[in-house]
Amino acid sequence: MNRPFRFGVNMLTPASGDEWRKRCRRAEELGYDVILVADHLGMPSPFPSLVAAAEATERPRVGTFVLNAGFWNPTLLAREVATTDALTGGRLELGLGAGYVQAEHDAAGLPWGSPGERVDHLRRVVEELDRLLGSDEHLPRPAQHPRPPLLIGGNGDRMLKLTAEHAEIAAFTGARSVAGGALRHLTPEELDERVAAYHRFAAGRAEPAELNLLIQLVEVTADRRAAVRPALQHIPHLTEDQALDLPLLLLGTVGEIADQLRAQRERYGFSYITVLEQYAEAFGPVIEELRGE
């Protein structure tokens, strides 16, 4: 049985306090269920931004999408998570990932490590957060018990196994990292295989996780082919027809995009859809179309 749709917007652009609160209130007006903040240098700092977002709004939850575990010591992170959850009235959702931008680690003077080492560190962070926040002796205490819902983002086998073991939300990017930190979009068939791999790892769970997909492009248009052509330079391994089939590109009329998301929920199980901030307004009518489904 399909889960109801939820919609998140990933906020990426720094702003003054007044402007930030205005943007968050607009996201609430558009119908977004979750206001999210990324964890990249040059972008807003996640935790104070989420506290401000919660203060400016009434209904949406707030979340990190996603914290780069390589930036964080788990003991200090537990304090940030618990405090933010308390200050937002239990509205926090904690998103974690292994990190994929070496230049940010270099700029911060932090070790980069191999992919395996980064996943190992993420596992340590997740397990330590579970231990610390699950203890009645840990102060401060989060509002949600034993901790806020955990989202883990990643497509590789080790990441999916970790997600299956610990996370309430499994987030898929629809792409994988390649040399130089670039991302290569997954075909629908490749995404089928990755979702199936997650379900194999999660076979013993009492309750299946919510599945999230990060959308890379939204354009409401009557001409899908014209809309996709500028994106082809970024996906040279795909034809125009193949690009139009990518799950992370939403191109078409409001009705066509809504139908695409319904079909993808049926095929993959993606019920929690995240769009980037620059597409928040364009995606608003789609939220209205799908509200309650």
pLDDT in tens, 115-136: 999 999 999 999 999 999 999 9
145-186 confidence digits (pLDDT tens): 999 999 999 999 999 999 999 999 999 987 776 655 556 788
Q: What's the total number of domains in the chain?
A: 1
Whether 1 maps to a domain, the answer reads no
Query: Residue 171, Cβ neighbours under 10 Å: how many?
Result: 27
Q: Which of 167, 135, 138 is nearest to 153 (CA)?
A: 167
Name the more confident of 288 and 100.
288
Q: Report in angstroms the alpha-carbon separations of 253 from 6, 156, 258, 286.
A: 20, 33, 8, 9
pLDDT the model gives residue 55: 98
Burial of 44 (0-12, 13-18, 19+ CB in 10 A): buried
CATH number at residue 136: 3.20.20.30
Tokens 């003054």 locate to 16
Whether 285 maps to a domain, the answer reads yes
Give the structural domain span for 83.
6-290
280-290 and 17-30 helices, crossing angle to 10°: 30
* Dihedral pair phi/psi, residue 116, rounded to 5°: -65, -40
Whether 124 maps to a domain, the answer reads yes
Whether 265 maps to a domain, the answer reads yes
240-287 confidence digits (pLDDT tens): 999 999 999 999 999 999 999 999 999 999 999 999 999 999 999 999
pTM above threshold 0.85: yes
pLDDT the model gives residue 6: 98
Query: Residue 188, Cβ neighbours under 10 Å: how many?
Result: 14
